[in-house]
Amino acid sequence: MRQPLVAGNWKMNGTRQSVAELLAGLKSGVGQVTTAEMAVCAPAIFIPMTEEALTGSAISWGGQDVSVHESGAYTGEISGGMLKDFGCKYAIIGHSERRTYHGESDELVAEKFEAALNAGLVPIFCVGETLEEREQGVTEAVVARQVDAVINRGGVEMLGKGVIAYEPVWAIGTGKTASPEQAQEVHAFIRSRVAGHSQAVADGIQILYGGSMNPGNAAQLLAKADIDGGLIGGASLKAADFLAIGIAANA
Ligand code: PEP
């Protein structure tokens, strides 16, 4: 039985005050979430205050990216060890915004996956097709290529130590959600692809859906057999909305 995970991706949003309010709201309401694990992936500068607020709570936290390097002359980068030092459990890896705006290749993302694991973090590994790719009918080929890059680097056992997030790029921040059926189809494909290497890893790995998930559509998405939670952008910035998604996963 896979535990649902509802993880927030705050992206580059927040102020000291808004983050303090958000964290306080999450802490006071998380008791209503009975089944899912809740986590927030904060901008690096807010991680210390996130750690301070959430230590001892039921909510985990993480970063939004990780360097492939452990330390050294890499201006602007944050290492997995630094995230771990501030209590992070998770690191988002290969988000489409990093693939698009920072030119991250499948191979670099796989290297980051391994770097996160080596630092003791759980990678939340994002895959997903663009609208153009969906219209060309190559969704499965794109997602397979992205998943295979991690398997090729470290084997299916390495992949199994992370969490996969299927995030159709056309659904991120657009208000357009994949229908539960569209999402389930790709989730089942990803799981079968992993099963081709190891049925045990396929059975155990959490596959989250991400792309305009909100309190209004979460329950239907989360009801699907292969959707094990959500990676939430916009709706994770409001405590009530984010918690409502967690509550939608209550057994
Ligand atoms: C995301 O960026 O991971 C995401 C799913 O964003 P949104 O929920 O805003 O579409």
Cα–Cα distance, 3 to 71 (Å, whole number): 34
Nearest atom in ligand 1 to the alpha carbon of residue 165 is: 3
Flag whether pLDDT at 195 surpasses 90.
yes
In the predicted model, what is the mean pLDDT of residues 74-81? 98
Please tell me the predicted confidence (pLDDT) of residue 251: 82
In the predicted model, what is the mean pLDDT of residues 228-249? 98
Please, what is the Cα angle at 31 between 27 and 33, to 5 degrees? 110
Please tell me the predicted confidence (pLDDT) of residue 1: 82
Q: Report pLDDT digits (tens) over 84-125.
A: 999 999 999 999 999 999 999 999 999 999 999 999 999 999
Please tell me the predicted confidence (pLDDT) of residue 78: 98
CA of 92 to the centre of ligand 1 (A): 12
Integer-rounded Cα Rg, in Å, for the chain is: 17
Flag whether pLDDT at 199 surpasses 90.
yes
What are the residue boundaries of the structural domains of the chain, listed by start? 5-237
The whole-chain average pLDDT of the chain stands at: 97
Pairwise pLDDT comparison (200 vs 251), residue with the higher score:
200
Q: Report pLDDT digits (tens) over 142-173.
A: 999 999 999 999 999 999 999 999 999 999 98
Flag whether pLDDT at 217 surpasses 90.
yes
Top-level CATH class of 5-237? alpha beta
Q: Provide DSSP, 207-246.
A: EEEESS--TTTHHHHHTSTT--EEEESGGGGSHHHHHHHH
In the predicted model, what is the mean pLDDT of residues 49-61? 98
CA of 77 to the centre of ligand 1 (A): 23
Sign, CA dihedral 47-49-54-55, equals positive
Task: Assign 176 a pLDDT band (cuts: 50, 70, 90).
Answer: confident
Ligand 1 pocket test target in 6, 64, 213, 217 with most atoms within 8 Å of CB: 213
Name the percent of the chain lying above pLDDT 70.
100
Catalytic residues: 95, 167
**Which residues form the pocket of ligand 1, taking CB atoms under 6 Å from any ligand atom?**
9, 167, 172-173, 210-213, 231-235
187, 178 contact by CB (below 8 A): no
Please tell me the predicted confidence (pLDDT) of residue 175: 87
Taking CA atoms only, the protein residue closest to ligand 1 atom 6 is 233
Q: Report pLDDT digits (tens) over 34-48.
A: 999 999 999 999 999
